[in-house]
């Protein structure tokens, strides 16, 4: 079988190859049913062929057919969401990028960037799990990846939205994120003071990078003990010497 990482890569590659071929929402809307089916099939075949280089014994025969059906269903459902967005064209897909914060040079990998009609950019991250935009907030944020993509490039992108593409079937299927204006994507929250939010993210990430460069190694978990759950360095850490009070769990705060 395929582990979660390979299945996730298949989804990323399928979406990438589809949009590299189609390029825009306008072109998507203009496709006939036969053209759409052909474009989906071509993208999936290309993604599976790429994965089969490392999983040749798995991705063949009936197993390959089942995986192809899964990807077809997912992509078709997702394209219905894309059709309800503001008009866009593909700017880049699965592209390496260089980010700079506080004197550090970091290397990232952006799933996708679209260009809107006004020339601004929408940064999209595909997620097959349950993404949470609240993880972008706080000092430091738990998940700074998309805020970093929005604020760390040189020259900076004129970004108008950060979006998770939540691909797990169910009630949360669709876009989740923050946007500067209404209508960029269905059900996406508009953030008042968008430019101020971008500046705040940049300031926070510059400080984190600067602290790292200076060797600031103080024991300061954001949400003890939850932050420490997956650390793996407990034998070396001094956190229990600090007298830090535990935070309440999400369940206790009423989150699902």
> How many percent of the chain have pLDDT more than 90?
62
User: Which of residues 59 and 149 earns the better pLDDT score?
Assistant: 149
pLDDT tens profile 51-91: 888 888 888 888 889 999 999 999 999 999 999 999 999 99
CB 203 within 8 A of CB 142: no
Dihedral angle at the C-alpha atoms of 12, 14, 20, 24, nearest 10 degrees?
-90
The confidence score (pLDDT) of residue 158 equals: 93
CB 179 within 8 A of CB 161: yes
CB 142 within 8 A of CB 152: no
User: Which of residues 1 and 95 earns the better pLDDT score?
Assistant: 95
Q: What is the mean pLDDT of residues 236-256?
A: 64
pTM of the model: 0.86
Nearest to 146 by CA among 116, 114, 122: 122
Q: What is the mean pLDDT of residues 185-207?
A: 92
Q: What is the mean pLDDT of residues 140-164?
A: 91
Per-position DSSP letters for the chain, written without gaps between them: ---HHHHHHHHHHHHHHHHHHH-BHHHHHH--HHHHHHHHHHHHHHHHHHHHTT-TTTSSHHHHHHHHHHHHHHHHHHHHHHTTSPPEEEEEEEEEEEEEETTEEEEEEEEEEEEETTS-EEEEEEESS---GGGG-TTTTS--HHHHHHHSSSSPP-EEEEEEEE-SSSTT-EEEEEESSTTSSTTPEEPTTHHHHHHHHHHHHHHHHHHHHTT------TTTTGGGTT-S-TTT--GGGTTPPPPPPTTTTT--
> pLDDT tier at 250 (50, 70, 90 boundaries)?
low
Q: What is the mean pLDDT of residues 169-173?
A: 84
User: Which of residues 146 and 247 earns the better pLDDT score?
Assistant: 146
How far apart (Å, rounded) are the C-alpha atoms in residues 59 and 13? 15
Produce one character per residue of 90-123: b if its CB has 16 or more CB atoms within 10 Å, e if not.
bbbbbeebebebbeeeeeeebbbbbbbeeebbbb
Query: Is pLDDT of 168 > 60?
Result: yes
The confidence score (pLDDT) of residue 255 equals: 45
| Beta-bridge mates of residue 190 | 179
pLDDT tens profile 200-215: 999 999 999 999 999 9
The confidence score (pLDDT) of residue 55 equals: 82
| Beta-bridge mates of residue 110 | 95
Query: Is pLDDT of 248 > 90?
Result: no
Query: Is pLDDT of 99 > 90?
Result: yes
């Amino acid at each position: 079988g395929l582990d979660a990482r390979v299945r996730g890569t298949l989804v990323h590659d399928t979406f990438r190859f589809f949009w590299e071929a189609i390029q825009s929402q306008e072109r998507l809307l203009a496709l006939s049913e036969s053209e759409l089916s052909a474009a989906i099939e071509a993208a999936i075949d290309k993604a599976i062929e790429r994965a089969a280089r490392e999983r040749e014994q798995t991705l063949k025969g009936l197993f390959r057919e089942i995986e192809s059906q899964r990807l077809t269903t997912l992509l078709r459902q997702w394209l219905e969401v894309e059709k309800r967005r503001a008009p866009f064209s593909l700017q880049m897909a699965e592209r390496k990028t260089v980010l700079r914060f506080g004197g550090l040079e970091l290397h990232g990998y952006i799933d996708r960037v679209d260009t809107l009609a006004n020339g601004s950019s929408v940064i999209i991250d595909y997620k097959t799990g349950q993404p949470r935009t609240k993880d972008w907030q706080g000092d430091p944020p738990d998940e700074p990846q998309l805020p970093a993509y929005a604020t760390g490039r040189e020259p900076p992108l004129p970004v108008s939205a950060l979006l998770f593409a939540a691909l797990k079937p169910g009630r949360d299927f669709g876009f989740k994120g923050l946007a500067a204006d209404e209508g960029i994507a269905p059900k996406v929250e508009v953030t008042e003071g968008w430019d101020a939010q971008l500046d705040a993210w940049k300031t926070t990430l510059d400080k984190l990078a600067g602290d790292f460069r200076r060797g600031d190694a103080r024991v300061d978990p954001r949400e003890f003990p939850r932050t420490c759950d997956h650390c793996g360095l407990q034998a070396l850490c001094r956190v229990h010497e600090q007298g830090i009070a535990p935070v309440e769990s999400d369940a206790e705060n009423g989150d699902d």
